[in-house]
Amino acid sequence: MIITRAETILVSIPFKAGGIPPWSFGGDPKCNFDTLLIRLETDSGLVGWGEAFSRNEDHALKTMIDTRVLPLVVGRDAASIASLKFDLEFQLHNFGRIGPIMYGISGVDIALWDLLGKATDRPLVELLGGPFAEELTVYASLLRYGEPNEVARITREAIERGYRQIKLHEVSLPVIEAAVAAAGQDASVMLDTNCPWSVEQALYHDRVLEPLGLTWLEEPVWPPENYKGLAEVRAAGRHRIAAGENAGSLYDFVAMMDAKAIDIAQPDVAKTGGVSELVKIAALCDAMGVEYVPHCALFGPGQVATLHLNAAHRGVPLFERLYCDFEAELYGNATLPIAGKVKVPRGAGLGLDPDPDVVERYRVL
């Protein structure tokens, strides 16, 4: 099964989320999320789909993957996943072990697993030794609203839609308190702050947030690789600490655990080395007694791969879905949660291919 063609397709789909455009990622804030698709074609006629993490119509990221990563993939045997991934990592390690190059390698790895499943007519979850579950409990990962009434309204809306676990992306105490009060006894609440604070500031917030009974506190310390600082917050013992979406590989999780920085590991399949790397990270978590809950702010093949990965792990981690309604879905209704649950696809490989009409309509590059 030789790869004859490799390409990326950048898709950007508008969504409704209430309130203001949530995150700018350094550019103009928009109510759009990108999916950077990686499409691998083989001489067997099979096509595999992967996804590299992307936001805000990132043309530079697409060009980087097109010109640095994909030329190394064409002509290779798609079934030799580990050796192909090793060669990509080794040949490109000077260009960064975390970030764009690794996003591209992650996307290629997902597409290779999709191809392996299609070639063997087995769903990815079975190739990974599962399933432990046919469907997953989804947590509503709210966007940032920054305003108490709006966050309370959205929290109630998510509960009415059937979610019983809610994650906030807020940093202001009154806003966080409003959401926790709105959730009441109906949902547990996690807090993701996205690395805003010094260690001293994080320790202060860790203390004042304690009475709220948050399920976990995610990435309270700047910068994300400040594992020693994170460990100081964790050592205070007031919250379970979650992190890992900004890691590049298994070795970053080894470093986090060596530092005693985390209770919950959150690798992202489209950032942290793909399916192959998450399987290794899951095994490390099991051996080290750290909870494994993959990060997922993805809406393409990375999202689908995460469904399979979660269902293939004995802990059956909660599945993260950003709480926003898209104008169109790449997979129709197949990945949309119903009453806070989502089914694991049972077709070969990822079990779902992106809808070509949606891809064409929302393609930006």
Q: How far is the CB of 88 from Mg ion (least distance, A)?
A: 26
Q: How far is the CB of 246 from Mg ion (least distance, A)?
A: 9
Q: Considering the complex, state which of residue 32 and residue 246 has its C-beta at the smaller distance from Mg ion.
A: 246
User: Is there binding between residue 320 and Mg ion (CB under 5 A)?
Assistant: no
Applying CB under 5 A, which part among 118-126, 186-194, 328-336, 339-347 lies near Mg ion? 186-194
Closest CA to 142 of 164, 166, 165, 176: 166
Applying CB under 5 A, which part among 130-138, 179-187, 190-198, 342-350 lies near Mg ion? 190-198
Q: Report the relative pairing of strands 319-322 and 217-218 from DSSP bridges.
A: unpaired
Q: How far is the CB of 293 from Mg ion (least distance, A)?
A: 11
Q: Considering the complex, state which of residue 41 and residue 192 has its C-beta at the smaller distance from Mg ion.
A: 192
Q: How far is the CB of 297 from Mg ion (least distance, A)?
A: 8
Q: Considering the complex, state which of residue 69 and residue 191 has its C-beta at the smaller distance from Mg ion.
A: 191
Residues pairing with 135 in the sheet: 343
Task: Decide: 319 and 310 in contact? Cβ < 8 Å.
Answer: yes
Q: How far is the CB of 224 from Mg ion (least distance, A)?
A: 10
Q: How far is the CB of 71 from Mg ion (least distance, A)?
A: 33
Task: Decide: 103 and 141 in contact? Cβ < 8 Å.
Answer: no
Applying CB under 5 A, which part among 157-165, 191-199, 223-231, 334-342 lies near Mg ion? 191-199
**Residue nearest Mg ion, CB atom distance:** 192
User: Is there binding between residue 192 and Mg ion (CB under 5 A)?
Assistant: yes
By CB under 5 A, the residues from 80 to 119 that bind Mg ion are none
Q: Considering the complex, state which of residue 319 and residue 362 has its C-beta at the smaller distance from Mg ion.
A: 319
Q: How far is the CB of 266 from Mg ion (least distance, A)?
A: 7
Q: What is the distance between the alpha carbons of residues 278 and 333, in angstroms, rounded to a whole number?
A: 26
Task: Decide: 340 and 186 in contact? Cβ < 8 Å.
Answer: no
- Which tokens is 360 given? 């064409």
User: Is there binding between residue 206 and Mg ion (CB under 5 A)?
Assistant: no
Q: Considering the complex, state which of residue 250 and residue 322 has its C-beta at the smaller distance from Mg ion.
A: 322
How is residue 93 annotated by DSSP?
A: G
Closest CA to 68 of 31, 103, 18, 24: 103
Neighbour count for residue 46 (Cβ, 10 Å): 18
Q: How far is the CB of 217 from Mg ion (least distance, A)?
A: 11
Q: How far is the CB of 123 from Mg ion (least distance, A)?
A: 28
Q: What is the distance between the alpha carbons of residues 213 and 234, in angstroms, rounded to a whole number?
A: 15
Size of the site for Mg ion (CB under 5 A): 1
Applying CB under 5 A, which part among 112-120, 187-195, 314-322, 356-364 lies near Mg ion? 187-195
Helical segments of the chain, H only: 59-64, 81-92, 100-120, 124-127, 148-160, 173-183, 199-209, 227-235, 250-258, 274-288, 301-311, 356-362
Task: Decide: 320 and 307 in contact? Cβ < 8 Å.
Answer: no
Q: How far is the CB of 225 from Mg ion (least distance, A)?
A: 15
Applying CB under 5 A, which part among 29-37, 71-79, 158-166, 184-192 lies near Mg ion? 184-192
Applying CB under 5 A, which part among 47-55, 144-152, 185-193, 200-208 lies near Mg ion? 185-193
Most distant CA pair in the chain, distance: 59
- Which tokens is 119 given? 């070639």
Q: Considering the complex, state which of residue 34 and residue 192 has its C-beta at the smaller distance from Mg ion.
A: 192
Q: What is the distance between the alpha carbons of residues 66 and 152, in angstroms, rounded to a whole number?
A: 43
Long-range CB contacts (within 8 A, 24+) of 204-207: 205/173, 206/233, 206/236, 206/238, 206/239, 207/236, 207/238
- What residues make contact with Mg ion under the rule CB under 5 A? 192
